[in-house]
Amino acid sequence: MICIIDYGMGNLRSVEKAFQNRGFEAKITRSAGEISAASACVLPGVGSFGRAAENLEKFGLTAAVKDFITSGRRPFMGICLGLQLLFPASAESPGAEGLGFISGSVNKFDTADLKIPHMGWNSVKLLKKNDIFEGIPDNSYFYFVHSYYGSPADTALSAGETEYSLKFPSVIIKDNIYLFQFHPEKSRGKGLRIIENFGKMAKAGIWK
pLDDT given at position 104: 98
Domain extent, residue 86, equals 2-204
pLDDT at 206 over 70: no
- Residue 54 backbone dihedrals phi, psi, to 5 degrees: -65, -45
Number of domains into which the chain is organized? 1
Mean pLDDT in the chain?
A: 94
CATH code assigned at 39:
3.40.50.880
User: How far apart, in whole angstroms, are the C-alpha atoms of residue 81 and residue 53?
Assistant: 10
Lowest model confidence (mean pLDDT) among 58-62, 69-73, 162-166: 69-73
Mark out the alpha helices in the chain (DSSP H runs).
Answer: 12-21, 32-37, 49-58, 62-71, 81-84, 188-204
- Beta-carbon contacts of 172 under 8 Å, excluding residues fewer than 6 positions away, are 83, 86, 102, 150, 152, 157, 158, 159, 178, 179
Region 74-94: mean pLDDT is 97
Radius of gyration over every alpha carbon of the chain, rounded to an integer in angstroms:
15
pLDDT-above-70 percentage for the chain? 99
User: How far apart, in whole angstroms, are the C-alpha atoms of residue 55 and residue 104?
Assistant: 22
pLDDT given at position 73: 83
Region 65-84: mean pLDDT is 95
pLDDT given at position 46: 86
Give the SS3 label for residue 33. Answer: helix
Please write the tens of the pLDDT for every residue from 100-142: 999 999 999 988 788 999 999 999 999 999 999 999 999 999 9
80 tagged catalytic: yes
Please write the tens of the pLDDT for every residue from 20-55: 999 999 999 999 999 999 999 999 988 899 999 999
Annotated catalytic residue, options 80, 92, 118, 196: 80
Region 161-173: mean pLDDT is 97
pLDDT given at position 177: 97
Annotated catalytic residue, options 16, 92, 146, 185: 185
Please write the tens of the pLDDT for every residue from 145-163: 999 999 999 999 999 999 9
pLDDT at 64 over 60: yes
pLDDT given at position 186: 95
